[in-house]
């Protein structure tokens, strides 16, 4: 792991309105290259706000944020973002290829404003779809895909510009266990073989423990935990309600866990 962080927050506060109570306060953390970090916390705790600060969409009221040593807005092209969900009108059957190519809109270049794509752009699209094992679907309408397939296409859209950091918002919401297992394998490959730093927002604590070494627990303030010490008590503190960790494995049966 490199000693120099790729993302740095120092004593950051943020409020949406002047003189209102902060959504986030006293936020300090470093994220290093090739880390996989998960952001967890209750609804309204500031998870999405934190992502927007990393991306440079929002500006802090106080404190300092650096992405690759500069202000976040200066390095936006190094970030790839996968939203929680994207809805397209089925009467407008946009293809998988065009969904992925949208990841290049806004980049520097003569066609960036009008959506003109070069042969090189199309090659990047094919490569991104190959990385997520969706190359055979390039001509298919996006709306016709399954939830897991749409998820992979949206990751390809985030990957097409070859970002160094992937930001994923609730990547396992509304998918079945098989799709989640495949997704875990994909993230491992992107991290280990393609050297991507990955930041995720998730409510799925079981998913977190699979591939993540560090968890950012956000509820206005931020506490960092390694996954190996997460317990029911810590989760209760995160979500401000009574919760327990439940173990899921192949020994589960109709009678419950074996003793």
At residue 138, the pLDDT reads 96
Instruction: Please give the structure tokens belonging to residue 14.
Output: 């943020």
Per-residue pLDDT at 41: 86
- pTM metric for this prediction: 0.78
What confidence tens digit (pLDDT) does each residue in 196-248 have?
Answer: 999 998 876 665 666 887 889 899 999 887 655 555 555 555 555 444 443 33
Does a structural domain hold residue 71?
A: yes
Instruction: Look at residue 29 and tell me if it is in a domain.
Output: no
With respect to residue 191, please indicate whether it lies within any of the assigned structural domains. yes
Q: Are the CB atoms for 154 and 82 separated by under 8 Å? A: yes
Q: What is the mean pLDDT of the chain?
A: 81
- Domain with 108, as residue range(s), is 35-239
Q: Which residue has the higher pLDDT, 97 or 183?
A: 97
pLDDT in tens, 126-151: 999 998 889 999 999 998 998 888 88
Structural domain tally of the chain? 1
pLDDT average, residue stretch 90-104:
87
Residue 258, in any domain of the structure: no
Beta carbons within 8 Å of 1's beta carbon, 6+ residues apart: 32, 33, 34, 35
23, part of any domain: no
Domain-located, residue 190: yes
CATH of the domain at 91: 3.40.50.300
Segment 177-195 shows an average pLDDT of: 84
Residue 256: inside a domain, yes or no? Answer: no
Classify the C-alpha dihedral 191-138-158-150 as positive or negative. Answer: negative
Confidence at residue 151, expressed as pLDDT on a 0 to 100 scale: 84
Instruction: With a cut of 90, say whether residue 44 has pLDDT above it.
Output: no
Which of 4-18, 66-80, 97-111, 242-256 has maximum average pLDDT?
Answer: 4-18
Across 63-72, average pLDDT: 94
According to the model, what pLDDT value does residue 50 have? Answer: 94
Least confidently predicted of 35-49, 142-156, 162-176: 162-176
Whether 195 contacts 184, CB under 8 Å: no
Q: What is the pLDDT of residue 92?
A: 75
What pLDDT, on a 0 to 100 scale, did the predictor assign at position 87?
Answer: 67
Would you tell me the crossing angle of helices 119-131 and 147-159 to the nearest 10 degrees? 130
Residue 254 lies in a domain: no
Closest CA to 187 of 214, 166, 217: 166
pLDDT at 202: 81
Report how far residue 150's alpha carbon sits from residue 134's, in angstroms, rounded to the nearest whole number.
10
């Amino acid at each position: 792991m490199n000693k120099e962080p790729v993302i740095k927050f120092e004593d950051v506060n943020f409020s949406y309105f002047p003189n209102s109570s902060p959504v986030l306060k006293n936020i300090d953390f470093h994220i290093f290259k090739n880390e996989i970090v998960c952001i967890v916390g209750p609804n309204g705790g500031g998870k999405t706000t934190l992502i927007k600060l990393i991306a440079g969409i929002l500006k802090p009221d106080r404190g300092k944020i650096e992405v690759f040593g500069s202000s976040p807005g200066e390095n936006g092209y190094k970030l790839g973002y996968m939203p929680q969900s994207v809805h397209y009108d089925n009467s407008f059957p946009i293809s998988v290829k065009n969904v992925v190519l949208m990841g290049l809109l806004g980049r520097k270049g003569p066609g960036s404003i009008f959506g003109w794509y070069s042969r090189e752009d199309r090659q990047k699209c094919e490569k991104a779809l190959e990385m997520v094992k969706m190359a055979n679907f390039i001509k298919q309408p996006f709306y016709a895909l399954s939830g897991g397939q749409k998820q992979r296409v949206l990751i390809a859209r985030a990957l097409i510009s070859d970002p160094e950091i992937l930001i994923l918002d609730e990547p396992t919401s509304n998918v079945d266990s098989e799709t989640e297992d495949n997704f875990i394998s994909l993230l491992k490959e992107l991290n280990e073989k393609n050297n991507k730093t990955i930041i995720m927002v998730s409510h799925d604590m079981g998913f977190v423990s699979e591939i993540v070494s560090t968890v950012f627990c956000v509820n206005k303030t931020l506490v960092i935990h390694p996954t190996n010490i997460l317990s029911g008590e810590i989760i209760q503190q995160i979500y401000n309600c009574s919760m327990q960790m439940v173990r899921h494995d192949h020994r589960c049966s109709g009678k419950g866990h074996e003793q």
